Amino acid sequence: MTPIRMRTHADRSVLLAASGNLPPPARRAPQKSARLRTAQSARPIPRSWRRVRRAHSTEVLTMCRWLAYTGNPIPLETVLFRAKHSLIDQSLHSRMGATTTNGDGFGIGWYGEPDEIPFIYRCVSPAWNDRNLREAARAIRSPLFVAHVRSATDTPVQETNCHPFRRGRWLFAHNGLIRRYHTLRRDLMMRIDPALFASIEGSTDSEVMFHLALTFGLEHDPLTALERMAGAIEDAGAQHRVDAPLNMTVCATDGEQIVAVRYSSEHDSRSLFHSTSFRHLHELYPHDPRIRAIGDDAFLVLSEPLVDLHDAWEKIPESTAIIARRGDIRQLPFKPRRST
């Protein structure tokens, strides 16, 4: 018999059969069903999102992380890198998100001199892997800044989709979603002031939310503008029969004040915290290097706590707005202003 040269594993069984030396078929382990494999490999979904998952079984649940700081000027690296559970650590090891990793880009926005337009740096790289961010955070000192790490839903990973967004002196960052956004997008865009429309650069629901708030007077009455923005989204959802159309934690700032909101149509919003009194923390932990650089009157709003100090953080209640301005902190109810 003329030898046959084997070329692939697939040819091997043919060769052995031709030579009469085919071994008995190996016993294969029973295969698990696709449903069982999926169930065993799926990541657990936080309790606060299980009801949403049941109601919207095809929805991709993702979660960004953000923080905003106001107080004495500090290097951005103090909260972006140095803290035990810094924002950069959260981009890779989120503890409270539906997804652990937030690697679809990042952005920082900060204020320098009074009356100066804020600076922004945004990039599609994962925050933990960007050396320029680390260098910038070490060099930049600011009395007010916003930072965001992104986990994209169904919009492209591109620089114009990274937060924060900027218009004049205003910065805006968002965590959450407009449910069935592609269904509601046209109606929402039609409500944006034509004078603002050309400044929309990306394709996210977050940027549309920002421009709706600007349309409704964000520069003059931020809280009312955000309530009208939320109301417009819920109006559009009702018209198109979209259940629970809005889930958001948002931050808007003009360099003088931070306005942060935790709200969702189903009253089950994503996590948001604020710092308590740093003056009190300095008294309790006078030698703790994690908070030494932060002044007594500083204030933080953030998706996840940075350090595990007792009494350092307070969870912001559902349907609540926080307004921080020069050491004055107000907590107010948040209710969408609907037109229907």
Q: Tokens 């956004």 appear where? A: 181
The mean predicted confidence, pLDDT, of the chain is 81
Taking the whole predicted model, whether its pTM rises above 0.85 is answered as no
Give the pLDDT band (50/70/90) at residue 101: low
- Does position 38 have pLDDT exceeding 70, yes or no? no
**Pair 179, 245: CB distance under 8 Å:** yes
- Cis amide prior to 156 (ω within 30 degrees): no
Tell me what pLDDT residue 93 has.
Answer: 55
Instruction: Return the higher-pLDDT residue of 115 and 208.
Output: 208
Instruction: Return the higher-pLDDT residue of 288 and 137.
Output: 137
Give the pLDDT band (50/70/90) at residue 97: low
- Does position 18 have pLDDT exceeding 60, yes or no? no
Instruction: Return the higher-pLDDT residue of 25 and 93.
Output: 93
Give the pLDDT band (50/70/90) at residue 312: confident
Mean pLDDT over 298-323 rounds to 90
The CA distance from 290 to 298, in Å, is 14
- Does position 153 have pLDDT exceeding 60, yes or no? yes
Helices (H), the chain: 9-19, 34-41, 47-55, 77, 87-93, 131-139, 181-190, 194-197, 205-215, 222-239, 278-284, 289-292
Question: How much of the chain exceeds pLDDT 70, in percent?
Answer: 76
For the ranges 40-54, 106-120, 300-314, the maximum mean pLDDT occurs at: 106-120
Question: How much of the chain exceeds pLDDT 90, in percent?
Answer: 55
Give the pLDDT band (50/70/90) at residue 104: confident
Mean pLDDT over 160-183 rounds to 96
Give the pLDDT band (50/70/90) at residue 100: low
Tell me what pLDDT residue 95 has.
Answer: 59
Residue 231, phi then psi, degrees to nearest 5:
-65, -40
The CA distance from 68 to 146, in Å, is 4
- Does position 41 have pLDDT exceeding 80, yes or no? no
Burial class (CB in 10 A: 0-12, 13-18, 19+), 224: middle
**Pair 49, 61: CB distance under 8 Å:** yes
Give the pLDDT band (50/70/90) at residue 219: very high
Tell me what pLDDT residue 7 has.
Answer: 41
- Does position 1 have pLDDT exceeding 50, yes or no? no
Tell me what pLDDT residue 56 has.
Answer: 45
Tell me what pLDDT residue 65 has.
Answer: 87
Which token pair is 155?
A: 């919009």
Integer angstrom CA distances of residue 157 from 149, 189, 284:
12, 21, 43
Pairing of strands 313-315, 320-325: unpaired
**Pair 65, 303: CB distance under 8 Å:** yes
Q: CB within 8 A of 39, min separation 6: which ones?
A: none
Q: Please, what are the domains in the chain?
A: 51-174+247-333 (3.60.20.10)
Q: CB within 8 A of 38, min separation 6: which ones?
A: none
